[in-house]
Amino acid sequence: MALTKNKKVLDFVAASAELAQPDKIVWIDGSETQINALKKEAVTSGELIKLNQNLLPDCYLHRTKVNDVARVEDRTFICTKNKEDAGPINYWMDPNQAYELCNEIARGSMKGRTMYVIPYSMGVVGSDFAKIGIEVTDSIYVVLNMNIMTRVGKQCLDALGKEGDFIKGFHAKCDVDADKRYIMHFPEDNTIISVNSAYGGNVLLGKKCFALRIASYLGKNEGWMAEHMLILGVTFPDKTKKYIAAAFPSACGKTNLAMLIPPKHYKEAGYEIETVGDDIAWIRVGEDGRLWAVNPENGFFGVAPGTNEHSNYNALQSTKRGTIFTNVALNTDDMTVWWEGLSKELPEHCIDWTGKPWNPAKFDKKDKSTCSAHPNSRFTAPAENCPCISPEFNSKTGVPLSAIIFGGRRASTTPLVYQSRDWNHGVFIGSAMSSETTAAATGATGVLRHDPMAMKPFTGYHMGDYFAHWVEMGKKVKNPPKIFNVNWFRTDENGNFMWPGFGDNMRVLEWILKRCDENPIDAVETAIGYVPNPDDIDISELDYEICKGKKFDKAALAEILTVDKEKWSKEAEEIEGYYNGTIGSRIPKELWDCLETLKKNCKK
Ligand code: OXD
Ligand code: MN
């Protein structure tokens, strides 16, 4: 039975049903009884495998088709009336053509299936930040994941009332045919259509599709920002708190940084980290002239491989109940899950992510095809499970930002950390970000590509206009956060990581926040911005071996803080090539000025 009298919702559901012709329509009210019944049904059909309920209560495993394991950027379209408005780095399709194409594919595709109607909110229902979406889908997996990742249920329809507007999301699995897979966004119509996929990033429409692509477009028009950023809080020994938002490309450690455990002596001194979000931030200007951020999600869709007690204890703990695992290995000895990096010992009896028995004897770290879990296998875990979830997680106002951090995977050139000279220079740094690609999207991994503000795959409009929006936002904030860039991934000449990363990143966060104080700690001005004086990064009690026989020390720190003008001169040329050759005319003058300054500084 329909759970609302909102005519726009009813019309959308009716039109979707007329197109897809499901046998049945089920409205998701968010009740435990309904969700439990769906889990049961999915276990019976084999869509979910029930895990050991003593060790992993309310946890399940799901396997996708082997052709459907990551976001598909080349099949993800922004469908604006004018091609120009989608910009040069989004795939574009004419909206009429896109609707027609998807209608053709989806017509009758739910025959013999049930269509679920999921009312959900991105953000705390009733807060100024919150926006409501309705996703229709023929996948129980999607319903159950959306129920973890967003706030689902009747309260969202109540918040909409009779007249309220919402983001329309239509998802049909169809035949999971990779050649007919399309993830379409119609920012001018508040609509998303996804067909022929069942992988999270393509089908949990509240996440990348709504909370980033559509929301970035809304943010530009309404004067706020939707960013691919984690949000964390730092508590100082005197119990004061500061908040940081940080943008990194997919699978570059956002979840790890968001849930960081400080080194022992920091903890003993009283430092603590709390997690507000691990992937997405919606940011608005507060009445006090600062930027305030919320995490619009309600769970974590984290990358499993590499997650373990040491690398990310808090993430691992978050997966201990109420979690859906996707494409990890099944340990058949105790019906728990396993993935590469979870433990040093390999399990003896596993079914791999494709559903075949796995032979640990054949496992070769360097050969991904021998892995038991897919490199982009995931956990969908409720945020409330996280031991360090922030008390502000459900705050309606969000948290005030002291700092914004950009970062990527860069083997050379980019120092461990540096600070921009001002807001516009920070925007320039974000716009010029590049990083090596990871398994989060299909395509080659380890290739250096530009990923401005980590938003390359997620900006729902022209990237040049997006840069201009950042510059405009800077004019609206009296008290803007300071902007920094970090690089945890510098390597030595043999490819060994020079910085320990993980919990030790706290040492860099400390410096960053000292730079945000009213009386900031001194820094060294360089061609690219301010870098720390090596003495100002605490490396006490740091025991890290870069490679056999080479320990991390002051000299190594100094090395990863160096700014090589020759390399940066080349970088500036490369950025200029990207600006001119890829982004083009809509880049604001303020960023061209920063590029000129960089070029000049490198010559000095
Ligand atoms: C994600 C991604 O899943 O960025 O968060 O791909
Ligand atoms: Mn992400």
Atom of ligand 1 nearest to the CA of 228: 4
- Residue 205: CB within 6 Å of ligand 1? no
Write the secondary structure of 374-434 as one string of H (helix), E (strand) and C (coil): CCCCEEEEEHHHCCCECCCCCCCCCEEEEEEEEECCCCCCCCCEEECCCHHHHHHHHHCCE
Per-residue confidence (pLDDT) for residue 335, from 0 to 100: 98
% of the chain at pLDDT higher than 70: 100
* Per-residue pLDDT, 590: 98
Please tell me the predicted confidence (pLDDT) of residue 547.
Answer: 94
Q: Could you list the active site residues?
A: 252
What residue owns the CA closest to ligand 1's atom 2? 250
For residue 499, give the nearest of 453, 445, 537 by alpha carbon: 537
pLDDT of residue 585: 86
Q: How far is the CA of 280 from the centre of ligand 1 (A)?
A: 10
| Strand partners for 497 | 491
Q: Are 140 and 38 in contact (CB under 8 A)?
A: yes
For residue 176, give the nearest of 48, 61, 75 by alpha carbon: 75
Given a cut of 50, the residues of the chain with pLDDT beneath it are none
Q: Is any atom of ligand 1 closer than 6 Å to the C-beta of 258?
A: no
CB atoms within 10 A of CB 305: 22
Please report the pLDDT score of residue 505 as a whole number: 98
pLDDT of residue 51: 98
Distance CA 592, CA 444 (A): 31
- Residue 150: predicted pLDDT: 98
Residue minimizing CA distance to atom 4 of ligand 1 = 250
Q: Is ligand 1 within 6 A of the CB of residue 440?
A: yes
Distances (CA, A) of 151 to 120, 148, 155, 442, 519: 5, 8, 9, 29, 41
> Which pLDDT does position 419 carry in this prediction?
98
Sequence-distant (≥ 6) Cβ neighbours of residue 278 within 8 angstroms:
230, 254, 255, 258, 259, 295, 300, 302
CA neighbor of 219 nearest in space, from 294, 119, 145, 125 = 294
Q: Alpha-carbon distance 298 to 342, whole Å? A: 24
Token pair for residue 268?
A: 């003993």
Q: Which of 301, 377, 435 to mutate to test the pocket of ligand 1 (most atoms within 8 A of CB)?
A: 301
Category of 126 on φ-ψ map: left (φ > 0), alpha (ψ -120 to 50) or beta: left
The gap from C-alpha 189 to its chain's centroid, in whole angstroms, comes to 24
State whether the beta carbon of 63 lies less than 6 angstroms from ligand 1: no
Looking at residue 42, its pLDDT comes to 98
CA of 259 to the centre of ligand 1 (A): 16
Q: Is 353 in the pocket of ligand 1 (CB under 6 A)?
A: no
Is the C-beta atom of 254 inside 6 A of ligand 1?
no
Cβ-proximal residues to 197 (8 Å cutoff; 6+ apart), any chain: 68, 72, 173, 176, 181, 183, 203
Radius of gyration of the chain (CA): 24
Looking at all shown ligands, the one closest to residue 227's CA atom is: 2
**pLDDT confidence of residue 210:** 98
* Index of the ligand 1 atom closest to the CA of residue 301: 3
**Residue 148, Ramachandran bin (φ over 0: left; ψ between -120 and 50: alpha; else beta):** alpha
Spatial separation of the C-alpha atoms in residues 227 and 220, rounded to whole Å = 12
C-alpha 509/C-alpha 503 separation (Å) is 10
pTM above 0.85, yes or no: yes
Closest ligand relative to 76 C-alpha:
1
Place of tokens 């991994």: 445
**Per-residue pLDDT at 253:** 85
